Amino acid sequence: MRHGTQHADVATAELETALAGGPFHIALRAAITARGLPLQRVQHHLSRYGVKVGVTSLSYWQQGARRPQRPESLRAVRALEEILQLPDESLIRLLTRADERSEPQRPGGRSYRSLVEASGVLEELLAELESTLDGGLHTIGHHERVRIGAHRELVARESQHIVRAHRDGVDRYVAIHHGDPGCAPDRTGVHALENCRTGRVRWHRDTGVLVAELLFDTRLRAGDTFLFRYAFEDGTAGASSEYVRGFSFAGGQYALQVGFAEDALPVRCHRFTQHSPAAPRSGRQELPLSGHHRSVHLVEPRVRSGIVGIGWDWE
């Protein structure tokens, strides 16, 4: 009994510290832990307040992989303050503080706020297509080729994807493209290259997010594998300085290759990782640019949830 009491005291102390200093995701996780509620129960309580939030979203919020920003999400945060028996505005205040402290966007890169806004938009676009984040598929291998043009713009990217179904009846994959700042997603081309065809396409102009259904000609059974190829033709934004790939789930191998036009070569390139959009970048490693092929690449033998990317400097 004493051990349980000590554990509760520690959890309460951690919660008080997190509410005082943040950040938001640490405070939310501490509150859920202190109350001893599984996420399914938290979701159930939210539904009684008339707020619909998925268990996956709640998990992302407490991991710091995403942050509530849409009106419906902010309603959920206020309801969470009551459900978790927290002081009024305690979680909302931490969100506001994070907004005020968010770092400015560096030229050609993506700010924390832009990534968070894009993740909220992505949820809405996937909901329109009645798709979940993984779509019933696990990635076994993904080889992605990005092409940077003569004007330093992201011209196109092509993917070869190998997946395995983890439930019966899967017959499509939803591909996601997040263009560089200033892009025009309505002018981005979607090309189904092998073993698939293009279905519905949705986009959001302000964030540059585009989602596209790639339809298979078969319904997979649980355990079946499938290989397909597709591409996005962009070239609608200004100079690009990095390519970022986010992973919601751990999975198989990922290889990224970035190729540059002959008359637009960067002076240096590097790879990097991030645990979440809110986390600092780490794992920086210089990448030698192949003179003959004008490209750099990285390989992740087994990806972890988070962000991996390649950045480059023009001068």
Structural domains in the chain, CATH included, are: 2-98 (no CATH), 112-313 (2.60.40)
Residue 228 has pLDDT above 90, yes or no: yes
Confidence of residue 149 (pLDDT cuts 50, 70, 90): very high
The answer on pLDDT for 48 being more than 60 is yes
Is 116 or 57 the better-scoring residue by pLDDT? 57
**pLDDT higher than 90, residue 246:** no
What pLDDT, on a 0 to 100 scale, did the predictor assign at position 122?
79
Sign of CA dihedral 28, 30, 33, 35: negative
Q: What is the CA angle 75-76-79, rounded to 5?
A: 90
* Distance from C-alpha of 242 to C-alpha of 215, rounded to nearest angstrom: 29
Residue 248 to residue 307: CA distance in whole angstroms? 9
pTM recorded for the entire structure: 0.65
Residue 272 structure tokens: 């990097």
253 has a pLDDT exceeding 50: yes
pLDDT band at 280 (very low <50, low <70, confident <90, very high): confident
Q: What is the mean predicted confidence (pLDDT) over 149-178? A: 95
1 has a pLDDT exceeding 50: no
Number of other residues whose CB lies within 10 A of the CB of residue 280 = 8
Q: What share of the chain is helix, strand, coil (3-state, %, to 5)?
A: 30, 35, 35
DSSP state, residue 202 = E
Q: What is the pLDDT of residues 212-227, one digit of tens each?
A: 999 999 999 999 999 9
Quote the DSSP letter at residue 185. G
Cis ω for the linkage preceding 23 (within 30 of 0): yes
What does the pLDDT read at residue 106? 41
Q: Is the pLDDT of residue 196 over 90?
A: yes
Mean pLDDT of the chain: 85
> What confidence category does residue 54 fall into, taking pLDDT thresholds of 50, 70 and 90?
confident
What's residue 50's pLDDT? 87
Are 105 and 277 in contact by the 8 Å Cβ rule? The answer is no
| Residues belonging to the chain | 315
The whole-number pLDDT of residue 250 equals: 83
Give percent of the chain above pLDDT 70: 88
- CA–CA–CA angle 130, 213, 118 (5° rounding): 70
Largest CA distance in the chain: 72
Question: What's the rounded Cα separation, in Å, for the pair 296 and 276?
Answer: 24
Using the predicted structure, report yes or no on whether residue 208 has a pLDDT greater than 70. yes
Among candidate residues 87, 112, 114, 106, the one with its CA nearest the CA of residue 31: 87
